[in-house]
């Protein structure tokens, strides 16, 4: 990339609008999450939490967990206002990410996306224009380096494009799975419900979904296709919202893609906001250019470049593992693999005293919530962590020579359930690592593609 | 650009409208799709309601026999009462899985059939009086389990049992407790049955959507819960010591009657399989069911014939259980391996039902209410 590119400047308005909408959406998400009672249900009630490898120190704080949510929601409002922006977005990133790290049961690509976006935003001049910071400081910059907006577009583009790449597999394209399972159960949706059981609908949705994801970043980039692309974005996300329980994410994506629109569009949005809140927009339209010192610039560009190198490579780490990705899920997370698999499982744990030979089975209800059981049964790292937890639990109760075995079955994309974990392996002896888990029973079928 | 924003806003409104209508009922599910409403109708009209009515009849008989025994506490009335109790208990096995609607609201199953019962507390209730059978803490001091103790467990011989109701110093108190327990069971049963035969039937059938609160989603979850907790674990697994280091022969159903636990188990297994197949209560006719629904979905999916696998597994469990003695308690003490073998076959169907069937039906497991990707 030429150094000239990094000299280019552009209007700051799109990034300011993005900041405002992002902040509002985030605070709404927190309120929604709270109002559904999910803080209590997901972060306070469970007795045990599935931590991420390397982040075992992240713990829920009992009732004080609510305070993290308050901090997170308030910092999001500060971000929207552009008030003490740098510290606000940093706190938002940290508090939001902390919440996500408490229990990987709740992992969603959407949450990961928000963590990444807020991390990136720490380094962007999103508050130099149309913000309380700019107003208080008395200096507003109408122009900012072009790359600081392009990186946000790049991250959005990666999310879509990689989600599209992940769909290029035989289950999705040849068998129309898992949509063939999911869509017929949506028979009660108004208007389109009646066609949801037709096979052609499953294929139509599969193919248009893949094509949409792969092309939408490019259609948004070019002025001529932008209008139609935005309509597609709206239709696509609305449809996913109707069909699947995916919360705020469709709205967040729809609002985010506004970033691709012209400067003129964003000035009009800000003019609209100014009118409603009686803000003098002229105050910010200074025609001044925000620029970094050369050392700042070097550091920022290296950091952001490193961030994107990681983003581009991380989703391909699955290639380092043997076996079928959808089955083992080794390298599945953090890769924009969205709505790809219908997986359900059952894991029956057996505790054996290796000396006396006495044994008994575990009732998972005694230790895990229904949600945790559901996630645990289909993911080997959960199964391993739970097995170690069971060992600790029964050790405390005075049991000795504890061995933990699991009889587990998993169904993947409509295939008949099959044994998932080698039932002869004492899981207590196995340790979590980034290495391949040899005790996962190999997948008996083949899924071709990326 | 303004038009675009307008469109955006308009669509958002439409979505808000659609997404809040999760529970709407479609009366017209098209001609060639699977008709979930017909499935619910079959369950309500041909399975649940007839089974409940039949159970209500048995409860009435039980009540009559109880009052006869209370009036004249002799051995012949005791034997009659015991028969009425067992008939009702067997009949109960056909309704116990329907913990939905009023039954769910009043915790029907927990008041009717918790076992083992706490006999010390039962005795305290009898001697001290002043008990409130509506209290949740008293669930293990009433129901079929308490009657089992009162009719079979007080003494070794019929004469010995009758003595408690005739010559014992507390004879009147025993009679009162017996009557109260039966009365409470009958009251609850009447409530549940009246609800089904009243308004609940229609609201059950019309709640034919696909949300987590739709009738089918809830009922399938109830069915699985019952299979796993009450049939597999309660009747076999727990007494056989599957979940513990030791066996618990005293934790079988109808422990004091001794020779009834197998009959009760078989009745429940059959009821669950019949429910799966949509078999009408008390008749060989079948209607829309989980089986026909799975078969319909399989014509789209073209995978393994899951409903046959499930039925085969039901049959294997029944065959394995046929080796068991009529008295599971004795079986646990003498040859627990047979109990464990039966458990193993029951366990295999948990996988088919909970993993494969739920996944195929795209029904979410209970209480999992969170966003997805």
pLDDT digits (tens, 9 = 90+) for B191-231: 999 999 999 999 999 998 888 788 999 999 999 999 999 99
Residue A164 and residue A158: Cα distance in Å, rounded?
A: 10
Query: Residue A30 pLDDT > 50, yes or no?
Result: yes
CA dist list (Å): B349 to A215, A418, B210, B269, B335: 45, 13, 24, 12, 23
B347: its two tokens: 């366990």
What is the pLDDT, as a whole number, of residue B22? Answer: 35
Task: Tell me if chain B has a CB within 8 Å of the CB of A432.
Answer: no
A434 CA to centre of own chain: 20
User: Which residues, other chains included, contact B123 with Cβ-Cβ below 8 Å and sequence gap of 6+?
Assistant: none
Same domain for B223 and B169: no
Q: Which two tokens stand for residue A297?
A: 């610039």
The answer to whether the CB atoms of B355 and A345 lie below 8 A apart is yes
Cα–Cα distances in angstroms (integers) from residue A404 to residues A34, A380, A390, A394, B242, in the given order: 37, 14, 8, 10, 15
| Whether B68 and B204 share a structural domain | yes
Same domain assignment for residues B239 and B344: yes
Q: What is the pLDDT of residues B81-103, one digit of tens each?
A: 999 999 999 999 999 999 999 99
Element spanning A151, H or E: helix A147-166
pLDDT band at B16 (very low <50, low <70, confident <90, very high): very low
Say what percent of chain B tops pLDDT 70.
Answer: 88
Please give the Cα distance from B261 to A104 (Å, whole number). 43
**pTM for the structure as a whole:** 0.88
Residue B185 lies in a domain: yes
Domain boundary among the residues B155, B186, B208 is at: B208
Residue B6 reports pLDDT greater than 70: no
- Per-residue pLDDT for B360 more than 80? yes
Counted across chains A and B, CB pairs separated by less than 8 A come out at: 153
For residue range B132-171, what is the model confidence (pLDDT) as tens digits?
Answer: 999 999 999 999 999 999 999 999 999 999 999 999 999 9
CA angle B323, B326, B331 (to 5 degrees): 70
**Is the peptide bond between B142 and the residue preceding it cis, with omega within 30 degrees of 0?**
no
Asked whether residue B340 is assigned to any structural domain, the reply reads yes
B55 and B189: one domain? yes
Per-residue b or e along A318-327, where b marks 16 or more CB atoms closer than 10 Å to that residue's CB: beebebbbbb
CA distances from A40 to A50, A60, A355 (A): 16, 11, 41
Per the CB < 8 A criterion, the answer to whether B26 and B273 are in contact is no
Quick one: closest CA in B to A358, which residue? B245
Residues B189 and B41 in one domain: yes
**Is B24 a domain residue?**
no
Q: Is A421 on the interface with B (CB under 8 A)?
A: no
Name the A residues in 2-31 with CB < 8 Å from any B CB: none
Q: Are residues B174 and B52 in the same domain?
A: yes
CATH of the domain at B265: 1.20.1420.20
CA B203 from chain centre, in angstroms, equals 21
* In a shared domain, residues B231 and B362: yes
CA distance A104 to B68: 62
Query: Is the Cβ–Cβ distance between A261 and A14 less than 8 Å?
Result: yes
Residue B5 lies in a domain: no
Identify whether residues B296 and B246 lie together within a single domain.
Answer: yes
**Total tally of structural domains belonging to chain B:** 2
Question: B4 to chain A: which residues are within 8 Å by CB?
Answer: 227, 230-231
Chain B residue nearest residue A357, CA to CA:
B245
- Tell me what percent of chain A is helix, strand and coil, each rounded to the nearest 5: 60, 10, 30
Tell which of B166, B193, B208 closes a domain. Answer: B208
Same-domain check for residues B52 and B175: yes
Task: Decide: residue B72, CB within 10 A, 0-12 exposed, 13-18 middle, 19+ buried.
Answer: exposed
Q: Is the pLDDT of residue A342 over 50?
A: yes
Q: Closest by alpha carbon to A272, among A21, A10, A77, A78?
A: A21
Q: What is the pLDDT of residues B228-278, one digit of tens each?
A: 999 999 999 999 999 998 999 999 999 999 999 999 999 999 999 999 999
Confidence (pLDDT) at B3? 52
Model confidence over A57-71: pLDDT tens digits? 999 999 999 999 999
- Give the number of other CB atoms < 10 A from CB of residue B179: 15
Q: What is the H or E stretch that residue B266 is in?
A: helix B261-277
Residue B13 within any structural domain of the chain: no
User: Which residue among B180, B208, B236 closes a domain?
Assistant: B208
| Closest to B195 in 3D by CA, of B24, B89, B94, B48 | B48
Tokens standing for residue B118: 């706490």
What DSSP letter does each residue of B200-234 carry, written as one string? Answer: IHHHHHH--SSSTTSHHHHHHHHHHHIIIIIIIII
Residue B243 is nearest to which of A235, A245, A360, comparing CB atoms? Answer: A360
CA neighbor of B329 nearest in space, from B338, B341, B317? B338
What percent of chain A shows pLDDT beyond 70?
100
Of all residues in chain B, the one with the smallest CA distance to A264 is B1
What is the DSSP code (8-state) at residue A143?
Answer: E
B6 part of a folded domain: no
Instruction: Judge if B48 and B130 occupy the same domain.
Output: yes
Q: What is the pLDDT of residue A192?
A: 85
At A26, list the tokens. Answer: 């985030």
B28 is a domain residue: no
- Which residues 196-235 in chain A show a CB within 8 A of chain B? 196-197, 199, 202, 227, 230-231, 234-235
Nearest Cα residue to B210 out of B71, B24, B345: B24
- Of the partner residues B15, B21, B360, the one whose CB lies closest to the CB of residue A414: B360
Confidence grade of residue A450 (pLDDT, cut at 50, 70, 90): confident
Structural domain span for residue B158: 34-208
Task: Mark yes or no for CB contact A411/B7 under 8 Å.
Answer: no
> The tokens of B190 are what?
């009447």
Strand partners, A418: A410
pLDDT for residue A194: 83
Cis peptide bond N-terminal to A439, omega within 30:
no
Q: Indicate whether B338 pLDDT > 80.
A: yes
Q: In what order do the strands lie in the sheet with A418-419?
A: A359-361, A343-353, A402-412, A418-419
ipTM over 0.95: no
User: Residue A2: pLDDT above 70?
Assistant: no
Q: Are residues B291 and B189 in the same domain?
A: no
B195 Cβ contact list (under 8 Å, min separation 6)? B101, B102
Q: B214 near B205, Cβ under 8 Å? A: no
Q: How far apart are CA B146 and CA B161, in angstroms?
A: 14
Q: Which two tokens stand for residue A249?
A: 């994410």
- Residue B158 placed within a domain: yes
Which residue, chain included where needed, has tokens 């209410």?
Answer: B369
Specify the pLDDT at position B362.
Answer: 87
Long-range contacts of A434-440 (CB under 8 A, 24+ apart): A434/A53, A436/A321, A436/A322, A436/A323, A436/A328, A436/A330, A437/A328, A437/A330, A437/A380, A437/A381, A437/A384, A439/A380, A440/A323, A440/A327, A440/A328, A440/A380
Residues B363, A185: C-beta atoms closer than 8 Å: yes
Closest Cα in chain B, distance from residue A444 (Å): 15
So what's the pLDDT on residue A246? Answer: 86
Partners of A360 on chain B (C-beta within 8 Å) are 241-245
Tell whether the model's pLDDT for residue B180 goes beyond 60: yes
Does B296 have pLDDT greater than 70?
A: yes
Instruction: Find where tokens 């979590």 sit.
Output: A432
Chain A stretch 267-286, residues whose beta carbon is closer than 8 A to a beta carbon of chain B:
268
Residues B192 and B214 placed together within one structural domain of the fold: no
- Quote the CA–CA distance of A354 and A394 in Å, as a whole number: 14
d(CA B8, CA A60): 39
- Helix or strand holding residue A263 (H, E): helix A263-277
């Amino acid at each position: 990339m030429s150094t000239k590119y990094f000299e280019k400047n552009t209007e700051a308005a799109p990034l300011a609008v993005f900041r405002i909408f992002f902040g509002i959406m985030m605070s709404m998400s927190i309120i929604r999450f709270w109002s559904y009672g999910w803080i209590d249900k997901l972060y306070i009630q469970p007795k045990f939490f599935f931590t991420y490898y390397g982040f075992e120190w992240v713990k829920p704080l009992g009732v004080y967990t609510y305070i993290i949510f308050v901090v997170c929601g308030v910092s999001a409002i500060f971000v929207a206002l552009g008030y003490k922006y740098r510290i606000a977005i940093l706190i938002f990133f940290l508090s939001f990410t902390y919440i996500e790290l408490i229990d990987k049961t709740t992992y969603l690509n959407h949450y990961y996306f928000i963590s990444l976006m807020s991390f990136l935003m720490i380094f962007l001049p999103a508050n130099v224009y149309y913000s309380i910071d700019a107003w208080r400081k008395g200096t507003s910059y109408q122009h900012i380096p072009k790359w600081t907006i392009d990186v946000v577009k790049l991250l959005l583009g990666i999310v879509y494009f990689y989600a599209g790449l992940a769909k290029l597999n035989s289950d999705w394209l040849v068998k129309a799975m898992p949509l063939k399972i999911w869509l017929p159960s949506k028979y009660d949706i108004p208007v389109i419900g009646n066609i949801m059981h037709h096979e052609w609908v499953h294929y139509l949705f599969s193919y248009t979904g893949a094509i949409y994801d792969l092309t939408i970043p490019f259609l948004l980039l070019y002025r001529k296709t932008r209008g139609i692309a935005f309509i597609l974005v709206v239709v696509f996300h609305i449809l996913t919202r109707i069909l699947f329980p995916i919360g705020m994410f469709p709205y967040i994506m729809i609002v985010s893609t506004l970033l691709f629109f012209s400067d003129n569009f964003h000035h009009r949005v800000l003019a609209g906001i100014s009118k409603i809140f009686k803000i003098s927009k002229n105050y910010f339209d200074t025609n001044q250019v925000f620029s970094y010192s050369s050392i700042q610039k070097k550091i920022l560009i290296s950091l952001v470049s490193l961030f994107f190198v990681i983003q581009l490579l991380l989703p391909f780490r699955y290639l380092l593992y043997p076996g079928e990705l959808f089955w083992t899920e080794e390298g599945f997370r953090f890769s924009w693999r969205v709505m790809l698999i219908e997986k359900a499982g059952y894991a029956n744990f057996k505790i054996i005293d290796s000396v006396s030979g006495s044994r008994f089975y575990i009732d998972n209800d005694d230790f895990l919530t229904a949600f945790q059981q559901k996630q645990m049964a289909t993911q080997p790292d959960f199964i391993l962590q739970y097995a170690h937890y069971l060992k600790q639990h029964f050790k405390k109760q005075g049991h000795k020579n504890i061995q933990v075995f699991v009889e587990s079955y998993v169904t993947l994309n409509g295939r008949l359930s099959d044994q998932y974990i080698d039932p002869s392996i004492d899981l207590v002896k196995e340790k979590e690592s980034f290495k391949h888990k040899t005790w996962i029973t190999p997948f008996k079928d083949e899924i071709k593609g990326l | 650009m303004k038009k675009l924003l307008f469109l955006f806003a308009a669509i958002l409104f439409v979505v808000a409208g659609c997404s809040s209508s999760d529970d709407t009922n479609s009366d017209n599910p098209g001609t060639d799709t699977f008709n979930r409403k017909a499935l619910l109708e079959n369950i309500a009209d041909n399975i649940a309601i007839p089974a409940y009515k039949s159970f209500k009849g048995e409860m009435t008989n039980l009540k009559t026999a109880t009052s006869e025994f209370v009036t004249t506490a002799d051995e012949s009335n005791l034997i009659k009462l015991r028969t009425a109790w067992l008939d009702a208990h067997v009949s109960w096995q056909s309704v116990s899985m329907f913990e939905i609607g009023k039954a769910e609201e009043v915790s029907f199953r927990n008041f009717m059939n918790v076992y083992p019962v706490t006999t010390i507390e039962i005795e305290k209730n009898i001697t001290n009086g002043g008990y409130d059978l509506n209290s949740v803490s008293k669930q293990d001091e009433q129901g079929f389990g308490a009657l089992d103790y009162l009719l079979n467990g007080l003494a070794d011989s019929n004469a010995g049992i009758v003595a408690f109701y005739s010559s014992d110093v507390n004879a009147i108190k025993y009679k009162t407790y017996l009557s109260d327990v039966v009365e409470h069971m009958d009251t609850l049963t009447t409530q549940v049955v009246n609800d089904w035969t009243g308004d609940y039937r229609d609201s059950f059938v019309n709640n034919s959507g696909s949300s987590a609160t739709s009738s089918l989603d809830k009922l399938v979850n109830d069915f699985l819960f019952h299979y796993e907790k009450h049939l597999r674990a309660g009747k076999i697994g727990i007494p056989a010591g599957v979940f513990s280091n030791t066996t618990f022969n005293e934790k079988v159903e109808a422990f004091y009657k001794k020779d009834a636990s197998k009959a009760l188990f078989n009745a429940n297994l059959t009821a669950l399989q019949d429910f799966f197949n949509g078999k009408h209560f008390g008749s060989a006719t079948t209607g829309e069911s989980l089986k026909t629904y799975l078969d319909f979905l399989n014509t789209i999916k073209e995978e393994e014939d899951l409903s046959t696998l499930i039925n085969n597994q039901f049959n294997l469990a029944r065959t394995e259980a046929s080796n068991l003695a009529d008295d599971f308690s004795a079986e646990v003490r003498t040859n627990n391996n047979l109990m464990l073998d039966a458990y193993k076959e029951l366990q295999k169907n948990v996988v088919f039902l909970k993993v494969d069937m739920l996944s195929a039906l795209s029904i979410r497991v209970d209480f999992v209410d969170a966003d997805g990707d």
